[in-house]
Each structure stands twice: as C-alpha cells, then as structure tokens.
Amino acid sequence: MFDAFRTPCWGGLSRGAALSLGIRVVGTGLLYGLHVALARWLGSGEYGTYVFAISWTSVLAQFGKMGLPSAALRFVPAYHTNDERAGLYGFLSTGRRLVLAGTSGLAALGIAVVLLVPTGPWPLTALLLGIALAPLMGLFSFETEVLRALNRYGEAYAPNYVLRPLAIGGGTGGLLWAGGVGTAESVLLWTGGVFVLLILLQQWGVRRALPARPAALQRTPWHWLRVAGPLLLVSGFQLILRKTDLFLIGMLVGAEEVGVYFAAMRTAQVVTFVSFAVDAVAAPEIARRYHRDDAPLQATVSRLAHWYFWPTLGTAGGVALLGAPILSLFGTAFTAGAPLMLVLMGALVVGAAMGPQLYLLSLTGHERSSALIFGVCSLGNVGLNLVGITLYGPMGAALATATTLVVRSLWVRRRVVRRTGIRPSIWAALRLHSPRS
C-alpha cells in the first residue's frame, strides 16, 4: 500500500500535491479561523445572514461562468503543451469576457427579483450585496483554474486559501478595532474589495506563466462552450448539492440555524483538505495521461485513491473525537451542530473511498454522464431536504444531504468502471498494490 506514496513515476505528481497540500493546510486553518472570528464578531444571526448572502453569490457565479473554469482544465494544458498560442490566448480572452457577461447578467436578474419579491426576514441590503459580488467571484474562479491548469499551484491556491481569509479577517477586525459596527453588509462590502485586488494579482501571475502573445488569436467560443456546457451542469449541480440544505434551512427555519449548520458543515469539510490538495494536480494529470497511450492511467488513479482515502479517514477520526470542543470556538450555541457534523463527515469519507472518480468522467469525454448523475442527485436532494427539514429540522437536512452524497459517489463509481474500464476506489487500489497482484 505504501508504495503508492513512493513510486518514482509518482514523484512529479506528489511534488505538486505537496505544494498544494501545504497551502491547503494553512488555508484550512485560516478559513476556519475566519469563520470562527466572524461568528464571534457578528453573532449567530448576522453571521447566518452573511453565510446566506455569500451562498447566493456562489450559486449565481457558478452558473454565470458557464463551466468555463472547468473547461480551462481541459483546454489550457492541451494548448500550452502543444504550443498553440493562438488557441491559448483566444480561450483566455474569450473566456474572461464570457464569464463576466454571464455572471453580470445573472446578477442583474437576481437583483431585479430581490427588489420585486419580498425577502422575508433577510435584510435586503445584504442580499443585494451578495448578488452583486457574483461577477467578481466568477472571474476569480476562472483565473484560479487557469493557473491550476498551468501547473502554478501556489499562485492558483494562495490567493483563495491564504490571502483572501487574511484580508477579509484583517479588514473586518480593523473595522471593529476602529470602533465600527460589525454587520453582514460591512463584511460583504470589504469582501468585494478583496476580490478585486486578488483578481489583479492572479492575472499578473497568468501573464508571467504564458509565452509571448501571438499576433492573431483563435476564437472558437461555440467549440469551447460545447465542452463547457456539460461541465457547467456538473459543477452547477454539485454546488446545488452543497447549498440546498443551507438555503432550505434559511427559508424554512431561520438565520441562527443557518449559522450553526454552516459551522458544522465547515468543520466536517476539514477532513477533505488532503484530498483537495491532490485534486489540484489530479485533474490536469488525468487529462494528460488519458490522451497518451503510453501513460499508465489505472496505476496513477490507484495511487491517487490512497492519497484521497487514508488522510481523510485519519482526519475524520480526530475530528469526530474533538468535534464539540472545536465547534465551541464559534460560540456556545454552535456546539449543537456536533451531530450534524458527524453525519456529514461520514458521507465525505465514503466519497473519499471512491477516489478521483469525477475527473475520470468529466475530463475523459464523459461529461454528459456526470451531468446526468449530478442532475438526478440534485433534484433528489431537494426533495429529501424538504421532507427531512420539515420532519427533523437541521438534522433532517444533514441526513438528506449525506444520503445523496453517498448515492452519488456509488453511482459515479459504477459509471466510471463501465465507461472507462478504470477502477478508482480504494478497494481496487488495495488489490492492485497487494503482494499477490
């Protein structure tokens, strides 16, 4: 089993994972610390409002960017490796414009809806600010994936996981220190300014990583969008899976419960920080190896499976033991989320046991299969959450979301095996690296 962590052909991949892992370890602590600080500074009600508003930012940005950040992981490595500068620069230029146009259009629509439809207990200003941030979040995501596709892992992840929480936390803390009032609106405004600065930093990093710009650019937006469309559905449905429970708790229960649930969910997600680090290099590596006949894709996937599962399982054991004390960092009211955390964490461990299965569909020409699975699971998750929240409140939401995540993981694994012949799970990896194999 341990050969998966030392095999020579794994060296380049593990070096990239080590860099992203280091950033992710630091970033996990900083992001978690940011939310702890915001919960204490704002109180559970204002904190819940901030989480609810920024969740809408994520949803609008996800659909407005039209799958182009995910498509960057497919097109940028190919153009860059083959020195197709016209295609590379054309994709980047057109992609940025399309992302801004799509997210701005959805933001305008969202603002119109919020102004026309009663928002209930949610502050109008906070919702408007959250919606208005969608174009910035969309462009920030696009630049992140471009840098990732160029193997610039530090420049891809440091802005999001290190600089962003430091800047938001530092700005909010400075406001309070200067005698200002800590509100969801003030944090959202400062977040917008931070996004602008980080996008400029990312674009500078992209320019440094690229070869000289050609005189003429290749512009084939419909070709790029045809590939990006199914990827948009996959990533969009994936986001809906992650946000349905929060939205429905916010609409059916209240702001304080949203804050408690989000704290539990954020704590559960700590267990995935190593698999996220491997994600950073898994996607472009799978795309490259799939299109090379001499590349041992099954062996690479099996090694990835070890990196996904064992750190996740070990971290989950530690978090399960210390869950309540960790949640108490947010405030005494947040310890009620410990059972929710355990339920959600169990589903994440099952997902880690399935290995890098999603990339084996999305980046090998089977985007439509991914879209179908995620679409069905997203719709099912909405129904399960409605029933679960009605009957059991936030615990019903946790059970519904965990059930959906497990079903999705098993379904994707089965489709990967059928469509690609690759077995991505940890069980297949153990058989491959066993002494008898």
What tens digit of pLDDT does each residue of 140-163 get?
999 999 998 888 878 888 999 899
pLDDT-derived band at 60 (thresholds 50, 70, 90) equals very high
Residue 272 carries which DSSP code? Answer: G
pLDDT (0 to 100) of residue 283 = 67
Is the pLDDT confidence value at 72 over 50? yes
pLDDT (0 to 100) of residue 437 = 40
Most confident of 40-54, 55-69, 275-289, 396-410: 396-410
Query: Is 35 or 419 the better-scoring residue by pLDDT?
Result: 35
Please give the share of the chain, as a percent, with pLDDT higher than 70.
89
Is the pLDDT confidence value at 328 over 60? yes
The beta-strand segments (E) located in 200-274 are none
pLDDT (0 to 100) of residue 150 = 87
Please give the share of the chain, as a percent, with pLDDT higher than 90.
43
What's the rounded Cα separation, in Å, for the pair 85 and 79? Answer: 7
pLDDT-derived band at 357 (thresholds 50, 70, 90) equals confident
pLDDT (0 to 100) of residue 280 = 63
Most confident of 11-15, 265-269, 299-303, 418-422: 265-269
Is the pLDDT confidence value at 424 over 50? yes
Q: Where are the domains of the chain?
A: 2-432
pLDDT-derived band at 8 (thresholds 50, 70, 90) equals very low
pLDDT (0 to 100) of residue 242 = 81
Residue 367, SS3 per DSSP: helix
What's the rounded Cα separation, in Å, for the pair 257 and 25? Answer: 28
Query: Is 408 or 16 the better-scoring residue by pLDDT?
Result: 408
Is the pLDDT confidence value at 7 over 60? no
- CA 51 to each of CA 88, 232, 269, 271: distance values in angstroms, whole numbers, following the listed order: 36, 23, 16, 21
Closest CA to 147 of 206, 72, 77, 71: 206
What's the rounded Cα separation, in Å, for the pair 420 and 413? Answer: 11
Query: Is 363 or 399 the better-scoring residue by pLDDT?
Result: 399
Query: Is 241 or 400 the better-scoring residue by pLDDT?
Result: 400
Q: Which residues contact 240 (CB under 8 A, 6 or more apart)?
A: 59, 378, 381, 382
Is the pLDDT confidence value at 207 over 50? yes
What's the rounded Cα separation, in Å, for the pair 437 and 433? Answer: 6
pLDDT-derived band at 410 (thresholds 50, 70, 90) equals very high
What tens digit of pLDDT does each residue of 381-394 get?
999 999 999 999 99
Among 32-36, 278-282, 350-354, which is the least confidently predicted range?
278-282
pLDDT-derived band at 400 (thresholds 50, 70, 90) equals very high
What's the rounded Cα separation, in Å, for the pair 369 and 414? Answer: 11
Mean pLDDT of 179-200: 91
Average pLDDT, the chain: 85
Closest CA to 95 of 191, 193, 231: 231
Task: Take residue 340 and report the two structure tokens written for it.
Answer: 């929710």
What's the rounded Cα separation, in Å, for the pair 372 and 259? Answer: 32
pLDDT (0 to 100) of residue 15 = 59
pLDDT-derived band at 87 (thresholds 50, 70, 90) equals confident
Is the pLDDT confidence value at 397 over 60? yes
What tens digit of pLDDT does each residue of 101-122 get?
999 999 999 999 999 887 777 8
Is the pLDDT confidence value at 179 over 90? no
